[in-house]
Amino acid sequence: MSTLELPVLNGTNAHAQPHEQPMATYPFRRRKSRQVMVGHIPVGGNAPISVQTMTKTKTSDIAATVEQVRRCEEAGVDIVRITINDKYAADAIGDIVKQVNVPIVADIHFNHIFALKAIEAGVAKVRINPGNIGSRERIEQVLNKAKERQIPIRIGVNSGSLEKDILEKYGYPTPEALFESAMRHAGIAEECGFDDIVISVKSTDVRLMIEAYRMLAERTDYPLHLGVTEAGTPRVGTIKSAVGIGTLLAEGIGDTIRVSLTDEPEKEVEVGKEILRSLGLAQRTVEIIACPTCGRLEVDLFSITNQLEDAVKGIKKPVKVALLGCVVNGPGEASEADIGIAAGKGVAILYRKGEVVRRIKEDEIVSAVLEEIQAFQPQEAE
């Protein structure tokens, strides 16, 4: 944890949708960072933690890429990154930007010309990788163009693509190596009079990533983009991301996050938002709490939970639902939720804000809970 004196900041959700209720306060002592704007989304300062993802289509396939961005919008994404890896992608990005509602970040490796074209096409931010973007002259061209268009740059350091001289200096990727790479390029930007900078120092090694971000948090005030790179499959990647990103967020470090999974981008958004919700950093939608089950279980809670989880994906309402299949802890825990079920022997008791509503059959549980969710008034929630 940083030893800096960190103020308690208001976590009001400045870019909340009309159906959302902003959080009252930020639950942790948050690191104070400068703020940049990515389109209409503020990153840093006292802005809410934003959730990002990256498209996985060929950027040149405009229709497929736009469709994927729109799915991410529906999942609640704040910012979407798109690779500009060839001239066809560079030609397509302008049309994509015009057809979506969220800010688009151009992801650039190796060819700085693509960054210049993406900025001209109207992207809201550019991500460059110091390890492969090329000479200082090329970097300065990108910085000058971004400054002209008043958009930020993310300096995206990755442990797998550090500059050769830094890697030779430290022998292998270390927190100090990632920090030095980031600071080298932040220094170049500042020498060019450019300070709309976001920094990331990602690694597949969770411990390495945590320590590198802690160094940045203690020694700079740049807004930080958190992530565990190439985290893996949904099961492993979710765990690694939750540990790495969650640890830093709980220390007040981090301004925007991206969960990297070998899965569809909207799944990354869902996991990212769940990490924030678990720490009290995002407005709840429908939150389902279910018991892990044991030998006392006498209903098919696995099926009930899966059916309900699928059914509520599109419901944007802050409701806490508890599904308990145990007569020991079930009644007490179900009564503590907005809507609760305590089941046993093929039947269940339905609770609303701690009060018993009625007794229902096992095959009625999903429909009964959905009916209660639809009728639930958000102002009743805590």
Q: What is the CATH number of the domain that holds 183?
A: 3.20.20.20
Among 253, 278, 303, the domain boundary falls at 278
Name, of 53-67, 185-199, 352-366, the range with top average pLDDT: 53-67
pLDDT value, residue 135: 79
- Spatial distance between the Cα atoms of 255 and 168, rounded to a whole number of angstroms: 31
Q: Do residues 356 and 349 make contact, with C-beta atoms less than 8 angstroms apart?
A: yes
> What average pLDDT does range 138-157 have in this prediction?
92
Supply the range of the domain harboring residue 335. Answer: 286-380
Residue 8 located in a structural domain: no
Q: Which pLDDT score is estimated for 95? A: 97
Residues 105 and 228 in one domain: yes
* Contact indicator for 79, 50 with CB cutoff of 8 Å: yes
Domain final position from 262, 278, 294: 278
Residue 131: which pLDDT band, with cuts at 50, 70 and 90? Answer: low
% of the chain residues with pLDDT over 90 = 59
Q: Are 139 and 131 in contact (CB under 8 A)?
A: no
Band (pLDDT 50/70/90 cuts) for residue 328 is low
| DSSP letters for 230-284 | T--SHHHHHHHHHHHHHHHHHTT--SEEE---SS-HHHHHHHHHHHHHHTT-S--
Q: How many domains is the chain built from?
A: 2
Residue 9 forms part of a structural domain: no
Q: With 0-12 CB in 10 A as exposed, 13-18 as middle and 19+ as buried, what is 233?
A: exposed
Looking at 246, 278, 310, which one is the last position of a domain? 278
Answer whether residue 27 is part of any domain: no
Task: State yes or no: pLDDT of 152 exceeds 90.
Answer: yes
Domain-located, residue 28: no
Average pLDDT, integer, range 348-356: 89
Quick one: 78 and 216 in the same domain? Answer: yes
Tell me the pLDDT tens digit for each residue of 209-231: 999 999 999 999 999 999 998 87
Mean of the per-residue pLDDT values of the chain: 86
Please check the confidence at residue 59 and state whether its pLDDT lies above 70. Answer: yes
pLDDT in the model for residue 19: 34
On whether residue 6 sits in a domain, the answer given is no
Is 61 found in the same domain as 166? yes
Q: Which of 73-87, 147-161, 274-288 has the lowest mean pLDDT?
A: 274-288
The answer to whether residues 96 and 210 belong to one domain is yes
DSSP 8-state symbol, 151: -
Q: What string of DSSP letters covers 325-339?
A: --TTTHHHHHTTSSE
Mean pLDDT of 242-267: 96
Judged by DSSP in three states, 201 sits in strand
Does this model's pTM top 0.75? My answer is: yes
Residues 262 and 311 in one domain: no
Q: Are residues 207 and 236 in the same domain?
A: yes
Any domain includes 152: yes
What confidence score (pLDDT) does residue 10 get? 32
What per-residue confidence (pLDDT) applies to 327?
A: 65
Is 17 part of any domain? no
CATH number for position 367: 3.30.413.10
Angle between helices 206-219 and 175-191 (to 10 degrees): 40
Structure tokens at 40: 């209409």
Same domain, 142 and 174: yes
Give pLDDT, residue 27: 57
Strand partners, 49: none
Q: Is residue 215 part of a domain?
A: yes
Range 341-372 burial, b when 16+ CB lie within 10 A, else e: bbbbeeebbbbbeeeeeeebebeebbebbbeb
Query: Averaged over 147-160, what is the pLDDT?
Result: 93
Describe the strand order of the beta sheet including 225-226 as a list of residue ranges. 197-202, 153-158, 125-128, 104-108, 79-83, 50-54, 256-258, 225-226
**Whether residues 274 and 196 fall in one domain:** yes
Q: Give residue-wise pLDDT tens across range 264-301.
A: 999 999 999 999 988 988 866 788 888 887 776 788 88
Question: Is residue 4's pLDDT more than 80?
Answer: no
Distance CA 207, CA 185 (A): 23
Which of 34-38, 114-118, 298-302 shows the lowest mean pLDDT across its residues?
298-302
Whether residue 247 sits in one domain with residue 366: no
| One domain, residues 88 and 197 | yes
Alpha-carbon gap, residue 242 to 209, rounded angstroms: 13
Q: What tens digit of pLDDT does each residue of 10-36 get?
A: 333 333 333 333 343 455 689 999 999
**Do 262 and 296 belong to one domain?**
no
Do 100 and 201 share a domain, yes or no? yes
Counting residues of the chain whose pLDDT is more than 70, the rounded percentage is 88
Residue 160: pLDDT band with limits 50, 70, 90: confident
